[in-house]
Amino acid sequence: MLPIRDDHPLRDLFAGVVENTFHEQIGLCEPRLTDYLADLMVEFLHIDTLNVIRRAHGKRPEQVAAMLAMVCGERPESAEERDCLMYRRIGDYSLFWSGLYPESLRRPRIRVGDLLLNYVEQGKHSYAAAARLTTDDTEPPASLLQSLSEEFEACVHGLGLVRRSWEDCAGEGGGELVY
């Protein structure tokens, strides 16, 4: 998977829509947080983003419940960094799907293991766990991960507004928003 360039128009579009939505409609003016959310949207353009978890365990989980089982399983001594990354990815996955595509979480045929899982609570918990396993000298810093945990519901709401915003743009133009 090739990363999307920093100067790619989609990155600019997502950054602008996220920043505007969070500042104007939610009143959340935290640039590091909105930058992270825009980057998250760009990262999730490639479903292979979950390969981070596959590399750690040899298979790609497609449910938060499966990701949690991997994190909670036996770990080698050098697991702190891996656990931090996995908790962060669980938070990212939970935030992305519950914010942008919550209807997909209600399809039991796809996510049978996740039926009883509360994505919002799990996302908050996962970001908080990742924050405890890192410092402010790392990327992303612990303080940003803690903010994602504390502001999880606002981020979910904001990403829903972001989706409506681009759907409204597509409707006005008479077609899909495609790059």
Instruction: State pTM to two decimals.
Output: 0.77
Q: Residues of the chain with pLDDT > 70: what percent?
A: 69
**Residue 64 placed within a domain:** yes
**Residue 43 placed within a domain:** yes
Q: Identify the domain containing residue 80 by its residue range.
A: 9-16+24-153
**Residue 164 placed within a domain:** no
89-123 pLDDT per residue, tens: 999 999 999 999 988 877 655 555 555 468 899 99
**Burial zone of 127 (CB within 10 Å; 0-12 exposed, 13-18 middle, 19+ buried):** buried
User: What pLDDT is stored for residue 118 in this prediction?
Assistant: 86
| Number of domain units in the chain | 1
